[in-house]
Amino acid sequence: MNILDRIIVDKKREVELKKSIIPVSQLEASVFFEKEIISLSNNLRNSNSGIIAEHKRRSPSKAVINHGFSVEEVVKGYENAGACGISVLTDGKYFGGSLDDLLLARASVNIPLLRKEFIVDEYQILEAKAHGADLILLIAAVLTREEIKSLSEFAKSLGLEVLLEVHNQEELEKSIMPTLDMIGVNNRNLKTFEVSLDFSKQLADLIPNDFVKVSESGISSIEAIQELKPFGYKGFLNGENFMKTDNAGKAATTFFSNTCARVAVFDDATTRINTSYPG
C-alpha cells in the first residue's frame, strides 16, 4: 500500500468518526455557511502572476516544513504580497493542518481560500463551507468519475468553486465535466513524489479552455512560471517555497514582485512579436 492509499484509508475512518460527533445541522448553523464566496477562478483570469500561496506545516515527503508561523501572520503576509488565493492544508495526520487553520485564515483575510484536503465524502464539503472556504479540491487519483460528478455537483449546490486535480491523461479524461471551475495538474506524482513540470506541459492542450488551468507543485522559481505560461496556465500553486523561509509573507512579497516584473516584460515581448509577425 503506497502513501496515498494509506491517507485515503485513514481519511475515510476520520470522516466517519467526525460524522458521529458533529451533526450536519451544526455545520449548517455556522456564520460562514451563507457567506457569498470570493471567486478564485476570476482572480486567476485577471492576474499577471496567478500565484496561489499555501499554508502547510509538513508533508509526508518533506516531514516538517515550518511550525514557527501563526496562521494569521502567514495568510496576512500572502494577502499583502498580492496572492490570488490561499490554499490551507486541513489534514492533520500527514500534513499537520486542521479546520481551525481554515477558520483562522478566513477571519484574517478577504481573498479566496481553498480547503486543500483529501475529500471523499459530501460531509467534508459541508465542513469546508462551514469554516469559510471558497473552493474545494477534488483529487482524481482517489475518486471515480461518478464520485467526482456527485461531489462537484454538491459543492456547486453550496456555491463553492471546484478545483479538480489530475496527474495524467487517464485521470483528466475521466474527470472533465461542467461542474468544475479549474483543472490543476499536479507536477508531483502522489504515489512516488517525483516532481516534473513536464506533467503540466504534456496535459496542457488536453484541458479544454472552458476551465482555468492551474499548475501545482514544483513552482519554486519565476522561471517555472515563465516556462508554463505559454502552455495556457493561469494559476500556479506554490506549496512550500514560502513556508520553508523565516518569513513567509516577506518571501512571498519578493517572489510576487519579481514575478510580476518578469511576466510584464515577457508579455510585452510576446505582444511585440505577434504585432510584427501577424501571420
Q: Indicate which residues carry an active-site annotation.
A: 54, 56, 116, 165, 186, 216-217
Contact between 79 and 111 under an 8 Å Cβ cutoff? The reply is yes
Contact between 259 and 225 under an 8 Å Cβ cutoff? The reply is yes
- What is the C-alpha end-to-end distance of the chain, expressed in Å? 53
For residue 188, CA distances in Å to 89, 108, 154, 198, 219 come to 16, 30, 27, 10, 11
Strand 63-64 to 212-216 pairing: unpaired
Cβ-based burial of 251 (10 A; exposed 0-12, middle 13-18, buried ≥19): buried
Q: Which residue has the cell 516584460?
A: 265
Q: Which three three-digit cell numbers place residue 14?
A: 476520520
C-alpha to C-alpha distance for 248 and 179, rounded to whole angstroms: 34
C-alpha to C-alpha distance for 119 and 179, rounded to whole angstroms: 16
What residue type is 41 in one-letter code? Answer: S
For residue 145, CA distances in Å to 93, 140, 173, 175 come to 27, 8, 9, 6
Chain centroid to CA 129: 16
Q: How many CA atoms lie within 13 A of 130 on its CB side?
A: 17
Closest CA to 174 of 165, 182, 163: 165
Three-class SS of residue 160?
coil
